[in-house]
Chain A
C-alpha cells in the first residue's frame, strides 16, 4: 500500500534525523554495542556450522559478547545527559563502574573458557 510505504519512509527518515542529533560519545557506545552483538551472532553461526563442542567455550564466547554489550548499554544510560535520574552521577564514575564490571565479566570468562 502506498500509504504504508510512504509512512514507513517518513518513519525511517524521522528516526534517522532524530538519531543523528544524539551526541557523538553516545554514538560511539552504540557502535560498540552493535559490534559486540554482531560478534555474538557470528559465533552462533559458527556454532551452527561446526557443532557445539566444547560447549563451555561457546557459552563463554557468546556470553562475553552479550555481557559487554549489556554493560555498554548501561553505561550509555548513565552517561546520557537527557536522563534525569542520573544527572548527578559524574560520567567518570559511570565509566569506572563499567570498567570494573567488565573486569569481573572477563575474569569469569577466562576461567570458563577452558
Chain B
C-alpha cells in the first residue's frame, strides 16, 4: 500500500518540477518571441538609416516634438497655424493622442533616467517595441481560448506576419503601431473577463478600451464586434452571468472614457457607429431580467408571464424602434461617418467623397496581396476554425466571429488587412498547435515493437519519461509533460480510451510533423524576405541598383532642406496634399493643404490651381498668400508616384467643387496623355508647365521615363512663376510666384483703375471664390 503512495508523491514532486520547468521554458520562449518581433522590423534601419518613413509619421513626429518641448497642457490646447493656411488646424481636438502620448512618455521616462535618446530615435523605435508587446498580448489571448501551446504558436506567427510588419517597421511611426497592441490586449481582457467573471478584469478591459480609443479611429471595430459577440452568445443560448459582467460595465465605462477623448467627444453617444452597443446593452438587460424571473417562478407561471410580457413588450419595442428609425433617417448619412459608410458600402466613397477613394490604401486588395501579407496562414485558418468548434466555448466563438468580420473588412480596404492579421495568426496558431498535438501524441503512444497501442498505458511511469525524451521538439514535449501529469493523476482507463481515439500510425505522423515544420520554414523565409525587401522602404529615400552600383535618391530631403534654409520663416508653400506633413515637419514652413484632408474645398482650390493655366493659377495662389509652389516629378529617373500621375485626381477633386474644371477637357478620347496628342487644356495647365519646364534640356528630346513617350510641349517659358530650385534628380521642383509688375503696359485708361479693372475682369471669370 505504501509503495504506490510514495511513487505518487515522488511523481507529484516530479510533476511540480516539470511544471516549473515548463513555465521557465514558456517565459524564455516569450522573451525570444519579443526579441524576434523587435529585430525583424529593423531592416530599414540597417539598410537605410534611422529615419521616419512615409507621410503620416512625419505629422506624428512633429506633434511629439511639440509635446516633448512644450508639455502636455500646451499640446492638449494646441492650435496649429502652420498648416491649412489661412484656416489653421486645432491639433488638440482632431488628433488621436494615444501614439503621441505613449512616445512622449517613453521619451520623458528615459530622459529622467538620464538616458539621452532623442525624440526621433524614440519615435522610430516605438513601433517595434509595441509589436513585441502585441505578440505577448496574442499569447495571452490565445492562451485564454485554447491553452499555452497554441498561445506560443500564435505569438510566434504574429511576430513575423508581413501584414503587421508593413505598418510597424522601425520608422513607421503611425497610429497602427500602438493600436494593434491595444486591440489585441482589449480582446484578451474581454475574453479573460468572460472566462473568469471577475469585475477587476472588466475594469481593466474598459481602461484598455480607453487606450484603444485614444490611439486609432479603428476602435469602432471593437465597439461593434463585442456587441455582435454578445448577441451571438445570447442567440445561441450561451447566456451566463459572466457575459453580463463582461459586457455591461465595459459599455458604460467605455462610452464615458471614449467621450473623454476630444476627437471622439459626443460622437460616442450620437453616431451610428456606437448604436449597436447601446442596442445590445438593452437586449442584454432584457435577457438578464428574463433569466432572473425564470429562476424565481415555476415553469407554468413563467409561461403566463412570458405571454403577458411579450404582448406589452413588443408594442413598446415597436414604438421605440420607430422613434429611433425616424431620428436616424432624418440625417443624410443615417448617422454614420463617411469613412464608416465607405466600409459598409464599398462604392460609397467613389460616388460621394473622392478624397477617400483616391487614397491608395483605401482600395480593395487583390488576391496576390492576401498571399503576400498572410502567406501560409491563409490556408491554416480554416483548420483553425474547425479546431475552435471542438469544443466551442465563448472565447473560441469570439475568435471565429473576429476572423469572419475582419475578413470582410479586409476585402473592402487593403489598409484593413492589418486588422485581419491578429485573427489569422491566432487561428493558425491554434490549428498548428492542435496538429502538432495530435501528431506527437500519436508518436508518443505508439511503440515500434508492440502492435497494440493500448499496452503502453499498462506500463508504469518510468517508461513515459523515456518516451518523451525521444520526442525532442520543444512545444510538443511541453504538451507531453502536461499529458503525463494528466495520465498520472487520472486512471489508466481514461488514457487508454483517449489514445484509442486519437492515434495515427507512427510513420505518417513523423512525416506529418516534418511537413508541418517545413511549412513553417517556408513561412519564416517569406516573412523575412517581405520584411527585408518589400516593406522596409522609407519612401523618403529611394534606391535603385544598376550596373554601376547602388543609386540613392535623397531628393525629398534635399528639397525640404533647401526650403528650410533659403526661404523666409513665414513663407507659404503650396503643393499637393500628399507632401503637407513632410513639408511642415522637415522644412518647417506653412503649407496650404496637408494629409489630414479635412477640408475638401481647400484641397479642391489647390487642385483647381494646378489644373488651370498660369495666369489663373497665379491668381488663386496669390489669393492664398502663397510664395512657393512645390511639385514632384519623376520623369527623369522613372519615379512613378509623381504629381503627373496623380494629376487626374487633382482634376476630379477640383472639379467636384469648381464645375469649370471638367475631367474630359484633360483627356484625349478618354486617354490621359501628355505627349503631342495631349489636349491643349492639359498642356497649358500649371502642373504640366511646372513639371516639364526646361525638361527638354536634359536629353534634347524630352523623353519621360515614367510615361514612356516624348512630351508634347517642349519649349516654353513661364510667365508668372520662376524656377528657384530643382533637386539633383529633378524629383522635386520648387517655383516662386513672380510678384506683380509695377506698371502695366499698353492697357491703361487710368493707371490704378485699369489695374484693378483688369484684375477684376480676369479674376471674375476664372476664380469664382472672390
Closest to B295 in A: A82
For the complex formed, measure the closest distance between the CB of B327 and the CB atoms of chain A, giving whole angstroms. 14
In the complex, chain A residues whose CB is within 8 Å of the CB of B256: 59-60, 63, 67, 105, 108-109, 112
* A73 on the B face (CB < 8 A): yes
Give the complex CA separation of A111 and B252 in angstroms: 15
* B202 on the A face (CB < 8 A): yes
Mark out the residues of chain A between 7 and 23 whose CB falls within 8 Å of any chain B CB in the assembled complex.
Answer: 7-8, 10-11, 14-15, 18-19
Give the complex CA separation of A100 and B200 in angstroms: 8
Report whether B199 and A98 are in contact in the complex, using a CB–CB cutoff of 8 Å.
yes
Report whether A15 and B202 are in contact in the complex, using a CB–CB cutoff of 8 Å.
no
Mark out the residues of chain B between 276 and 311 whose CB falls within 8 Å of any chain A CB in the assembled complex.
Answer: 288, 293, 295-298, 301, 304-305, 308
With A11-B305, A14-B297, A112-B259 in contact, is A67–B252 under 8 Å at CB?
yes
Q: Is the interface of B mostly helix, strand, loop or mixed?
A: helix
With A77-B245, A97-B198, A97-B200 in contact, is A70–B297 under 8 Å at CB?
no
Contact count A vs B, C-beta below 8 Å: 99
Report whether B266 and A111 are in contact in the complex, using a CB–CB cutoff of 8 Å.
no
With A14-B297, A63-B255 in contact, is A74–B260 under 8 Å at CB?
no
Closest to A94 in B: B199
* B249 on the A face (CB < 8 A): yes
Mark out the residues of chain B between 189 and 209 whose CB falls within 8 Å of any chain A CB in the assembled complex.
Answer: 197-200, 202-203, 206-207
Report whether B252 and A70 are in contact in the complex, using a CB–CB cutoff of 8 Å.
yes
Give the complex CA separation of A82 and B241 in angstroms: 12
In the complex, chain B residues whose CB is within 8 Å of the CB of A94: 199
Q: Number of A residues contacting the other chain (C-beta, 8 Å)? A: 39
In the complex, chain A residues whose CB is within 8 Å of the CB of B203: 97, 100-101, 104
Give the complex CA separation of A101 and B207 in angstroms: 11
For the complex formed, measure the closest distance between the CB of B293 and the CB atoms of chain A, giving whole angstroms. 7
Closest to A99 in B: B199
Report whether B202 and A14 are in contact in the complex, using a CB–CB cutoff of 8 Å.
no
* A55 on the B face (CB < 8 A): yes
Give the complex CA separation of A68 and B198 in angstroms: 16
Give the complex CA separation of A56 and B259 in angstroms: 9
Mark out the residues of chain A between 82 and 102 whose CB falls within 8 Å of any chain B CB in the assembled complex.
Answer: 82-83, 85-86, 89, 94, 97-98, 100-101
Report whether B297 and A108 are in contact in the complex, using a CB–CB cutoff of 8 Å.
no
Instruction: Identify which of A11, A19, A82 contacts B301 (C-beta below 8 A).
Output: A11
Mark out the residues of chain B between 222 and 247 whose CB falls within 8 Å of any chain A CB in the assembled complex.
Answer: 240-242, 244-245
In the complex, chain A residues whose CB is within 8 Å of the CB of B288: 73
For the complex formed, measure the closest distance between the CB of B278 and the CB atoms of chain A, giving whole angstroms. 11
Please name the 3 residue pairs, one residue from A and one from B, whose CB atoms are nearest each other, closest first. A97-B199, A67-B252, A18-B296
- Sample of 11 further A-B pairs with CB below 8 A, known A15-B305, A104-B253: A4-B308, A11-B301, A19-B296, A78-B245, A83-B241, A85-B242, A100-B200, A105-B252, A105-B253, A111-B260, A112-B256
* A contact residues vs B (CB 8 Å cutoff): 4, 7-8, 10-11, 14-15, 18-19, 55-56, 59-60, 63, 66-67, 70-71, 73-75, 77-78, 82-83, 85-86, 89, 94, 97-98, 100-101, 104-105, 108-109, 111-112
Between A and B, 15 residue pairs with Cβ closer than 8 Å are A10-B304, A14-B297, A14-B301, A59-B259, A63-B252, A63-B256, A67-B252, A70-B252, A73-B248, A74-B202, A78-B199, A97-B200, A100-B199, A105-B252, A112-B260
